[in-house]
Chain A
């Protein structure tokens, strides 16, 4: 169980940031079953509620099952996994969705210092609300920019004028966004997306007090709204440093490059290649099953819509209890 408070300078990852203090609560439950001497079933349930004080809240819940069968005397551990998840967000209603997950995962002990992990997952994402193109977090649209929810779907006459004065307003001839005039300001049906993710990770056991991880991953999103489909590569590094008994410092840095390769060439107000970076540090102190932690996280990135950019800082401290 986990409870924390913090400050988020830009929960929407928008160009014009709206900051908020928050409290976050998480609970997780994991249970392992031995179906036979070798066949292992892991079951996981967890839920998180994030209570933003200046903007609206979000929460999610998920359940996952992982079936593993060790090979090569336990040196190779292949798993199949499946799960469901639900995410609700009253601040960015365009983000609300249900997900189904299936995948495979293989963990290989290469030597006493190295473990290689491979994961390939398919995620089917059913969004709940109508939303304008690129209304997701970090895509360049401000949450206040028109209706986010399909419950208040924009009518055609409204859509035709909503863009006036906006960055997509091409003036009397309507060519500010090439052929995209109007379309970007019209709400589109809830998306049905498929996200395929392939990742390779290497854990390195360097010293008693220092463990590192390297990650490379590729993701391919096939969206029911073609222009929102993307291909993404990700590179990450994490270091866990435990210099003293009961103290732990984790540093994580990630870089993403996202290519929206199905955006019509005529839509010149959409940047098709975007990069994002994040770095975070967390310091923890343990007292038996209790962990007190503080963390700082920095993010910046480019958004496809209207060539926006964003920055975000999150400062958070909290208490966890493992049992």
Chain B
């Protein structure tokens, strides 16, 4: 088991993110959503400073940006007021943000698995929610 964990850690360290250098993480509040085109207008709550002055130093965070995710890639439960995290690349020229990944604020898991049907690992320990079961600690 220990060897296996070490192997996993090495695996994680051994595959550096090829394009992570250019990608930034933003915390945003959704202002409007266009599900069809996969476009969001959002207010930036937290993120790196992106605008630069003549010397290349950051001067401010953009207040409102447009996030492009691609058609059909937006979670259906997204609505104005939702807090989301977005990984992607920001273009200062156009003021748009090309999103690579988008996570609704609540949890990473509920984005794609609201019913819990697809959460398989560890599911053998309980049904109908969290934790163990009734008589014992190893319930299905």
- Please give the residue numbers on chain A whose beta carbons come within 8 Å of chain B beta carbons, in ascending order: 1-2, 13, 26-30, 32, 34, 37-38, 42, 44-46, 48, 58, 60, 62, 70, 73-75, 77, 83, 85, 87, 89, 92, 94-95, 97, 99, 101, 107, 109, 111-113, 115, 117, 119, 121, 123, 125, 127, 131, 134-139, 191, 193, 195, 197, 199, 201, 203, 205, 207-211, 213, 217, 219, 221, 223, 225, 228, 230, 232, 234, 236, 238-243, 250-254, 256, 258, 274, 276, 278-282, 291, 293, 295, 297-299, 301, 303-304, 310, 312, 314, 316, 320, 322
Contacts and interface: CB of A to CB of B under 8 A. Distances in A.
B122 A236 contact: yes
A262 to B, nearest CB: 13
Interface of B: 1, 4-5, 8, 12, 15, 17, 19-20, 23, 25-27, 29, 45-47, 76-77, 79, 81-83, 85, 87, 100-101, 103, 105-109, 112, 114-118, 120-122, 124-125, 127-140
A89 B140 contact: yes
A209 B140 CA distance: 31
A281 B120 CA distance: 10
A32 B108 contact: no
B48 to A, nearest CB: 9
Contacts of B105: 74-75, 77, 107, 109, 115
Contacts of A240: 108
Q: Which of B8, B127, B131, B135 has the most CB of A within 10 A?
A: B135
B121 A297 contact: yes
B136 A241 contact: no
A99 B132 CA distance: 13
A276 B27 contact: no
A125 B12 contact: no
B116 A28 contact: yes
Given A74-B105, A136-B135, A112 B127 contact: no
Nearest to A30: B114
Contact of A136 (B23, B25, B27, B136): B136
Nearest to B115: A28
Contact of A256 (B29, B106, B137): B137
A274 B134 contact: no
Contacts of B129: 83, 85, 101, 121, 123, 197
B134 A109 contact: no
B130 A282 contact: no
Contacts of B124: 278, 297, 299, 312, 314
A48 B117 contact: yes
A193 B109 CA distance: 29
Contact of B136 (A42, A137, A210): A137
A209 B122 contact: no
Given A42-B114, A58-B140, A85-B127, A95 B27 contact: no
A127 B134 contact: yes
A28 to B, nearest CB: 3
